[in-house]
Amino acid sequence: AEYMGLESMSTSKRTVVSAPGKVLITGGYLVLEPENTGLVCAVSARFYSVVETTVEAPRGGALAIEVHSPQFDELRVYEWADATLTRDPSSAAENAFIETALVYALLVAEAGGAVFAPGTRLRIELVGDNDYYSQRSQLVARGLPLTGAALASLPPFLKLNHGGELLK
């Protein structure tokens, strides 16, 4: 079997992928169930996933996984062993969407013959374009008009505004 981690110790590999965002016009998240329908429209806003694979000195048989969402200021920590994903209870709250995606991706990788080298750590960073989220408070706080051009002038991947505070 081929190892998914790099072979030498303390090395890393980074992969960046993106996908267009979508707007769910009708149907709610129940459309995730096969018997339900909805109407979805693709938008130019994109989501990005940065996956860094690092091989360190082995500390056990489990694959270590960190999922970081800097816009929400959240970090989730998991271990993957024997086709089971376990969340560290001291990390951010459960997220069924992230956890389901991780489980299916790892199962598909393993079904394809992937074996994670001992000491492999995955660090996944998830970010979305500013125009995917409401940035009204950011624009108002900066004295900018509520226009697409003003939105495009904001720094990329702003943290979301919590409690009326301007986050940079």
Share above pLDDT 70 across residues of the chain, in percent, rounded to a whole number: 84
More confident residue, 131 or 72: 72
- Tokens found for residue 154: 């904001």
Mean pLDDT of 104-112: 93
Q: What is the pTM of this model?
A: 0.75
Mean pLDDT of 57-74: 86
pLDDT score of 131: 77
- Tokens found for residue 26: 């009708």
pLDDT score of 11: 67
Contacts of 164 by beta carbon, 8 Å cutoff, 6+ apart: 137
